[in-house]
Amino acid sequence: MGYNITQKILASHLVSGSLEPGKEIAIRIDQTLTQDATGTMAYLQFEAMNVPRVKTELSVSYVDHNTLQTGFENADDHRFLQGMAAKYGVYFSRPGNGICHQVHLERFGVPGKTLLGSDSHTPTAGGLGMLAIGAGGLDVAVAMAGGPFYMAMPKVVNVRLHGRLAPWASAKDVVLEVLRRLTVKGGVGKVLEYGGEGVKSLTVPERATIANMGAETGATTSIFPSDEVTRAFLRAQGREEVWVELLADPDASYDEVLDIDLSSLEPLVACPHSPDNVKPVHEVGPVAVDQVVIGSCTNSSYLDLMRVAAILKGKVVHPRVSLVIAPGSRQVLTMLAQNGALADLVAAGARILECACGPCIGMGQAPPSGGVSVRTNNRNFKGRSGTADAQVYLVSPETAAATALTGYLTDPRELGDPLVVEMPEKFYIDDRMILPPAEDPTSVEVVRGPNIKPLPPAKPLPASIQGRVLIKVGDNITTDHIMPAGAKVLPLRSNIPAMAEYVFAGVDPSFARRAKEAGGGIIVGGENYGQGSSREHAALAPMYLGIKAVLAKSFARIHRDNLINFGILPLTFVEPADYERIEQDDVLEISNIPEALRGGLELEIKNISRNFTFKARAQMTPREVEILLVGGLLNYVSTQQRK
């Protein structure tokens, strides 16, 4: 039996384990990326490992999240990151150079290699044929130090694409259709591997859009073949020498198959407040719109923005609409400026933002109160935009441009004949905003601003836990709910004591105060707890507040791993109905934890307040058990180094 693409890459990088779905494997990591919202903590963690130089083939530190400098904090972080990169052998992409995923696709991605990134949308590089996985910053720090990345061997889903996209349908509509079918938890424990004759009709930027937003299904990653289309893209980027052909064997097998007829797709929209709340645009509209945002790591490529410029050329946006556009990279922005498309966008009334994440993470450009914002982003969680009562819709760049002109959510097919925008034969290349590491690390001074605080120490997990249920939440709680982003909180990413004050701030503003008064406690959640961003702060800040366990119906992959990495016990109900029997402020007791975890046993939990017991399971590997018991991954690495 032949191998699929995922199995080929995993087999060539396997350090331990076997490629059996559900079994723990460890793989060698070739490349890593960090961004500034997660990077400061990741490099503090790397520094604590006492490794003099990164051991990966390539590591890149990007600045793209915290670029709104309303105080000294973000600028201090950027200076710190630049110094750490120079000292430890990491390339540094300066502020304004672009969004990490777009720039990595353009300048660093290599087919067949593994990439681990401290950002959940790292799978964007799957559009090039990389096995690119999002993880918490501590996992990335370990990889930079030369350690393997551990995960459960995922199932591989063959998403077979047939035919070609119809006029005005786009790559965004492909991935919205995938989300419509799988939902935001249907990809957990799986890799989405694209194939079929329809793949050949998609450019690398289009493939990257699909791979990027596959993260919203909870998938481990998404991946496309590396073929002649990939080769042409790398040639245009002046990097053809890194190209290798990477295809599934003719007799490759898959765990599941999902067939999509590209020709049947029409413009789609993800309605508030979830990326899987997908409907055809023509069935939802017309909805009066206040704001249109075009950009983010999903749809900010040269191809995307050239299509937008062609739609807007010679026209002006609707008087009610604020149109903001953020190019994905300096390469994209420069090319738009050189060919006149930037002038067309400006003349149409667009507000041009810097090459950064910006509005997608609530870093500026919040909609008006109760406003409707149509965006090309990948997430529309309630409040993520920076406005608690905003209604955010996710669409393709074509739908966004049409909407900006009419002032209503608009099917772009109403614009008439489709526009044809070709991929360039050669991209503009200027890597001067990417700084190589210092040749002499001893010459580098790393400057730490006053907001950069030491890592909070993690304590070993006690043999028994008794704590109050500090909060009980429902299904699909995101890391945005747990640890909000936005212009107010993101600058505190390197200051955990200050950031911890905002844990669950949008759900229950009293949470942090109550957690400190109680000396910690327990969180109870529903299905898919911790979906969304890879931000380890959603585990690190609760750890600082004394949270010892999270009891949920199910977990999103990255957040579960982050909880273990920071010594918080992730438990799932044996009987989901027991979730209904627990209320906030109940006192729970969990006993004999080490024995149960090491024995692979279910844990018995007593609800002291209501006088009943129920069972929960940890579903952890022996390695994860030992990490948890010593207080987290950093403590575990330290103990391994001393052996």
Length of the chain in terms of residues written: 643
C-alpha to C-alpha distance for 546 and 521, rounded to whole angstroms: 6
- Regarding whether 638 and 530 lie in a shared domain, the answer is yes
Here the CATH number for the domain that contains residue 539 is 3.20.19.10
Question: Do 39 and 118 form a contact (C-beta atoms < 8 A)?
Answer: yes
Q: Which domain holds residue 67?
A: 5-264
- Regarding whether 405 and 480 lie in a shared domain, the answer is no
Tell me whether residue 450 is in a domain.
no
Question: Do 360 and 229 form a contact (C-beta atoms < 8 A)?
Answer: no
Backbone φ, ψ for residue 494 (5° rounding): -100, 15
The candidate with the shortest Cα–Cα distance to 252, out of 499, 564, 9, is: 9
Tell me whether residue 453 is in a domain.
no
In a 13 Å sphere around the CA of 68, the CA atoms on its Cβ side amount to 20
State yes or no: is 162 an active-site residue: no
- Residues 359-385: tens digit of each pLDDT: 999 889 999 999 999 999 999 999 999
Tell me whether residue 437 is in a domain.
no
Task: Please say if the pLDDT value at position 285 is more than 80.
Answer: no
Tell me whether residue 428 is in a domain.
no
Question: Do 163 and 263 form a contact (C-beta atoms < 8 A)?
Answer: yes
User: What is the pLDDT averaged over residues 625-643?
Assistant: 89
- Regarding whether 213 and 230 lie in a shared domain, the answer is yes
Number of domains making up the chain: 3
Predicted local distance difference test score (pLDDT) of residue 518 = 96
| Options 396, 533, 534, 554, the catalytic residue | 533
- Regarding whether 252 and 103 lie in a shared domain, the answer is yes
Here the CATH number for the domain that contains residue 161 is 3.30.499.10
Amino acid at 174: V
* pLDDT confidence bin for 391, thresholds 50/70/90: very high
Amino acid at 215: A
- Regarding whether 209 and 194 lie in a shared domain, the answer is yes
- Regarding whether 70 and 216 lie in a shared domain, the answer is yes
Which residue, of 219, 249, 264, is where some domain finishes?
264
Task: Please say if the pLDDT value at position 258 is more than 80.
Answer: yes
Region of 377 (left: φ > 0; alpha: ψ -120 to 50; beta: rest) is: beta
| Options 535, 537, 559, 560, the catalytic residue | 535
Question: Do 312 and 405 form a contact (C-beta atoms < 8 A)?
Answer: yes
Measure the CA angle with vertex 261, ends 255 and 264; round to 5°. 150
Predicted local distance difference test score (pLDDT) of residue 457 = 86
Predicted local distance difference test score (pLDDT) of residue 292 = 98
| Options 119, 173, 276, 561, the catalytic residue | 119
Tell me whether residue 432 is in a domain.
no
Task: Please say if the pLDDT value at position 627 is more than 90.
Answer: yes
| Options 64, 276, 344, 561, the catalytic residue | 64
Task: Please say if the pLDDT value at position 641 is more than 80.
Answer: no
Predicted local distance difference test score (pLDDT) of residue 643 = 66
292 or 418: whose pLDDT is higher? Answer: 292
Which residue, of 249, 264, 279, is where some domain finishes?
264
Q: Which helix (H) or strand (E) holds 83?
A: helix 72-88
State yes or no: is 64 an active-site residue: yes
- Regarding whether 280 and 250 lie in a shared domain, the answer is no
Tell me whether residue 298 is in a domain.
yes
- Residues 173-211: tens digit of each pLDDT: 999 999 999 999 999 999 999 999 999 999 999 999 999
User: What is the pLDDT averaged over residues 77-91?
Assistant: 97
Mean pLDDT taken over the chain: 96
State yes or no: is 533 an active-site residue: yes
User: What is the pLDDT averaged over residues 444-449?
Assistant: 95
- Regarding whether 392 and 286 lie in a shared domain, the answer is yes
| Options 13, 78, 375, 379, the catalytic residue | 379
* pLDDT confidence bin for 54, thresholds 50/70/90: very high
Percent of the chain with pLDDT over 90: 93
- Regarding whether 227 and 357 lie in a shared domain, the answer is no
Which residue, of 264, 282, 305, is where some domain finishes?
264
- Regarding whether 150 and 255 lie in a shared domain, the answer is yes
- Regarding whether 253 and 155 lie in a shared domain, the answer is yes
User: What is the pLDDT averaged over residues 473-491?
Assistant: 92
Tell me whether residue 228 is in a domain.
yes
| Options 13, 65, 468, 481, the catalytic residue | 65
State yes or no: is 119 an active-site residue: yes
Tell me whether residue 90 is in a domain.
yes
- Regarding whether 312 and 215 lie in a shared domain, the answer is no
The DSSP string of 517-546 is HHT-EEEEE-TTBTBS---THHHHHHHHTT
